[in-house]
Structure 1
């Protein structure tokens, strides 16, 4: 790693140009003029520059080592280690230079005693917010050259919510000072935005409409505004575990669904919809913005500043920011104090006050951020794809809500391993809606559910009735395995779709539920994979087991208890399809193993129950 070296306010030409060092996507940063060193300080500059060069070679990632001169270079000086998000780095380097030049005195002497007249200086380095949050929370072991800073300025307060529980590692104090702001927006390719505008689509669609347009499930409490046609776009999301924009997307969804009784199911549908379109970085999303193509066009979740920076690179397909009508959340770059040392805390308070200067506000606007007061840069125009007007701000989520939503994402985004059991007994030919039988509704739900499953999902399908294969009550249609894996001349996904499309009821068949469920539970337990959520998903007519030659309920309960292994948990989801479902036996089975029973009286209810079943992972 190489970086700009700075001593006494002068950029060393041996270091990288700040504009290149911080990356092209961050926008240009004016080069500092090379000034002659002040008299009496020449001897100090060389060893300082050498020390920073060594630090850079070691990979510490120092942005600037700004000294306030001899008064701040002694062993008694208070040096603040300031870790900042990469995008805001150039402005923080300038702020540190001005702070150091002021030679401010702390109010704490050696050992934290009052007075002492110790000079304060700041050293700024870049730090990935996700990695720093994990380090401060004690969730990661420090790697080479990683350390706890005295001041941390991540790109979002959401990271501090994940870092705050680390009581053993010292307090994380999030001050009220925001260094810069950048609202979360929806970025569209400019040609797509023009097409939608010509079709009369509003420039401020709702978040709910955007989710529907991307193929997700609408929310009951989210504002409806059907503008972009459902299923017409592909929503890209930067990884919520690694990016603030992705984490804000989850927080927004959670916030807008707060009062919806189907919140978990809708959130689950959203996660499964976007899981396969999750990219590692915000910048990776924009690589999908290409001149007009057939099929679904991409839309991305990003910060306003990301759109501005991308468009300044002169792409063939620029981006346009949409500002959803309900409002949005912003990356707020909070000034966070992470040291318990009295002298350093005192110096941090002084640095915090310095962050409120007009010079700092101007510097962050030059980088494409709004200043803390919400003022937009003068470069925010239609040409750069962003609007200068302040968007409506939604209330910031509480830290506990942030932690909960990230835990939910972690569980729901894991792989899924499902063995689906479909009842093909004679009663499944009964209608559940005009022109639709119970079996047809079940098969269609299972087919549509495949669209939420990525290729690494492991899935298998059995049909069951009575005596489908000799005396055996079940027959394997597709063995369990990755959907993207080839089975003969087709993928498993294609094989599942084909089997579901061709399944027919056995008109003379009864319901051999007990034998089938026991065999399926045994197979999934034996083949258990800890990196997946392992599930048996059963659809039945709800009439209970009516196989005279099969095992009794008592025998089945005993067999399931014997198979159950707490170290290899497999949940059973049982769905009774149609009216008049008798759930008595099903509920007894669910009490023996980790399981749940649902009743669907219409095709729409089957879809909702499918999502509710997946959502059980949030609580488990």
Structure 2
């Protein structure tokens, strides 16, 4: 084919992308990258790029990291550009593509270190958002989308038949419920903290569950069950399927009959599997989220003009006829194009599955973060020390209940305790004034694993008894400041690596100890005590009208946490879980 010039402008009357779901097309990306390239637009539109015969002597080197699923297509495009002497401003393109898990690249970029690539193509924009949300991260510039692939539930043939594929369609919650509630239809997934496929599906599940009664509890239960059948990455999840179609492994509890999977991954699996082992793909009728493969410039300020132009040139090659073919032949959908029936069929889809519906609007970042937070504390387990106000005011009645603040608080804490597993570590302090000599606080139950044996019972038994025995101290005041600092310093010093660590403080009043440190000193000391390598968010809950939420929020934020207020202690359980999820999404 010889040397190539940059692609011509679109022909008049050529069909454009569909209006809602195809906003970020490569055409838009071209404008963005031209802007980044600092004047390249004028050069391209004027056709002033020179193509010399000695382009290989001055090739422009670009290092590109790509998600493993799309890396082969990008490498094929790079090899073709190299073989055919494709040039940018008279210099040959030398694009070196490396396959790297998107989560690993995101972790490197979040550290703010010097990047070793100029271009990054992760499988989803959620990784770009995660990196960009951290002010210390390497700067990223989105430049469009290379391809897309919807996320659904892939099922082995026998299980698909029992679910009524392809005639029967399901919502996310219906489909997850059908697989999670029937042990014969075990659902597996990649870790949502390392897999955009897993995270996007989990977000759709939690979003759908939020609109139902007890939605938060239902979503947490789904996440807990799903977490028991996860693997580290997308590349490993297909290996959890039965090894043959004979049915000999269908009853193996270690094997999954259903997977959260992208259409492209199902396409690749089916392309190499025997016909009787082809996966069937369910596309949930309330919308299949899509992997969107953003073409992203890494620290564009350090790129030379030649590198920026070369990145633009390579991106336009991916949008050429040859480039699009390299993507579709490996099971990817194209931006602005209808789904190919042949592609969908090979991936395991078939009408009336809603495989060609427009994708839903991307879930907002807060929804994704909440899903990630819930997943984090579900998978990692937790280490939480609970500090409860035992001052005299906790004996005040809660209107309409016939019980005291302490009675309702204890009941709520016992309900919260029931949501934690044997692997979680929970402890209990109480505080008032001078409970232990001159100390305003007392450690009732040291923080330990709930399943550990303690005396004649377990840590859970010991905590249940301690919660039940909590009682207001007659004439006791609220020694809040000294207690908060002591509990936080202890929580940081005893940090458990690999778990979600947090400190929860519940109080119904303001600090009443005149001999304690001041609020400004407390905030300053908390900031000094925080350690980025040992994150322990402080979750402060104001119970009742006398507590100062503004003060608690200021204190909690100093330790990387959040303040909350409840009018009724019965709300404590849900607030604790919500605050833990919120804090977990930031770790």
Establish whether TM, by shorter chain, passes 0.5: yes
- 8 Å Cα contact 1:416-1:457 kept in structure 2: yes
- The alpha-carbon deviation at position 360 of structure 1 amounts to 3.6
* 1:245 matched to 2:197: yes
* 1:380 matched to 2:344: yes
Output one character per residue of 1:374-408: Cα deviation in whole Å (capped at 9) or x when no partner: 4346253498367683243133478x879977997
Equivalences for residues 95-106 of structure 1 within 5 A: 95-106=77-88
Output one character per residue of 1:502-550: Cα deviation in whole Å (capped at 9) or x when no partner: 8646899758563699667634533534666441333x7x5x69xxxxx
TM-score (norm 2): 0.62
* 1:566 matched to 2:527: yes
Q: Go from structure 1 to structure 2 and tell me whether the alpha carbon gap of 1:231 and 1:583 turns closer, same or farther (over 3 Å shift).
A: farther
Which whole-Å CA distance do the structure 2 matches of 1:403 and 1:266 have between them? 17
Q: Which moved more, 1:157-166 or 1:479-488?
A: 157-166
Output one character per residue of 1:287-314: Cα deviation in whole Å (capped at 9) or x when no partner: 5556357899896543222334455556
- 8 Å Cα contact 1:361-1:371 kept in structure 2: yes
Which whole-Å CA distance do the structure 1 matches of 2:466 and 2:285 have between them? 45
3-state DSSP class of the match of 2:478?
helix
Q: Go from structure 1 to structure 2 and tell me whether the alpha carbon gap of 1:565 and 1:318 turns closer, same or farther (over 3 Å shift).
A: same
* 1:535 matched to 2:517: no
Output one character per residue of 1:343-401: Cα deviation in whole Å (capped at 9) or x when no partner: 44444444333323444434333323234424346253498367683243133478x87
3-state DSSP class of the match of 1:95?
helix
- The alpha-carbon deviation at position 479 of structure 1 amounts to 2.0
Within the candidate set 66, 70, 86, 1:84 is matched to 66
Which whole-Å CA distance do the structure 1 matches of 2:60 and 2:382 have between them? 52
Which whole-Å CA distance do the structure 2 matches of 1:162 and 1:508 have between them? 44
- The alpha-carbon deviation at position 75 of structure 1 amounts to 1.8
Which whole-Å CA distance do the structure 2 matches of 1:471 and 1:477 have between them? 16
- 8 Å Cα contact 1:455-1:483 kept in structure 2: yes
- 8 Å Cα contact 1:420-1:461 kept in structure 2: yes
3-state DSSP class of the match of 2:148?
strand
* 1:368 matched to 2:334: no
Within the candidate set 109, 122, 126, 1:154 is matched to 122
Alignment correspondent of 1:514: 478
Alignment correspondent of 1:607: 573
* 1:329 matched to 2:297: no
Within the candidate set 251, 254, 266, 1:307 is matched to 266
* 1:449 matched to 2:416: yes
Which whole-Å CA distance do the structure 1 matches of 2:285 and 2:190 have between them? 22
Equivalences for residues 203-352 of structure 1 within 5 A: 203-206=169-172, 238-249=190-201, 279-286=231-238, 291-292=250-251, 300-310=259-269, 313=273, 320-336=280-296, 340-352=303-315
- 8 Å Cα contact 1:242-1:281 kept in structure 2: yes
Q: Which moved more, 1:384-393 or 1:85-94?
A: 384-393
Q: Go from structure 1 to structure 2 and tell me whether the alpha carbon gap of 1:515 and 1:76 turns closer, same or farther (over 3 Å shift).
A: closer
Alignment correspondent of 1:140: 113
3-state DSSP class of the match of 2:319?
coil
- The alpha-carbon deviation at position 323 of structure 1 amounts to 2.6
Which whole-Å CA distance do the structure 2 matches of 1:407 and 1:384 have between them? 28
Equivalences for residues 61-80 of structure 1 within 5 A: 74-80=56-62
Which whole-Å CA distance do the structure 2 matches of 1:389 and 1:515 have between them? 60
* 1:583 matched to 2:513: no
- Unaligned runs of 5+ residues in structure 2 are 1-51, 243-249, 531-536
Alignment correspondent of 2:9: none
Q: Go from structure 1 to structure 2 and tell me whether the alpha carbon gap of 1:236 and 1:430 turns closer, same or farther (over 3 Å shift).
A: farther
Which whole-Å CA distance do the structure 2 matches of 1:231 and 1:537 have between them? 40
3-state DSSP class of the match of 2:284?
coil
Higher RCO (C-alpha 8 Å, min separation 6): 2
- The alpha-carbon deviation at position 281 of structure 1 amounts to 0.6
- The alpha-carbon deviation at position 92 of structure 1 amounts to 2.9
Q: Go from structure 1 to structure 2 and tell me whether the alpha carbon gap of 1:293 and 1:467 turns closer, same or farther (over 3 Å shift).
A: farther
- The alpha-carbon deviation at position 460 of structure 1 amounts to 0.8
- The alpha-carbon deviation at position 280 of structure 1 amounts to 2.0
- Unaligned runs of 5+ residues in structure 1 are 1-69, 109-116, 214-226, 546-550
3-state DSSP class of the match of 1:598?
strand
Q: Go from structure 1 to structure 2 and tell me whether the alpha carbon gap of 1:90 and 1:469 turns closer, same or farther (over 3 Å shift).
A: closer
Which whole-Å CA distance do the structure 2 matches of 1:296 and 1:503 have between them? 41
- The alpha-carbon deviation at position 480 of structure 1 amounts to 0.8
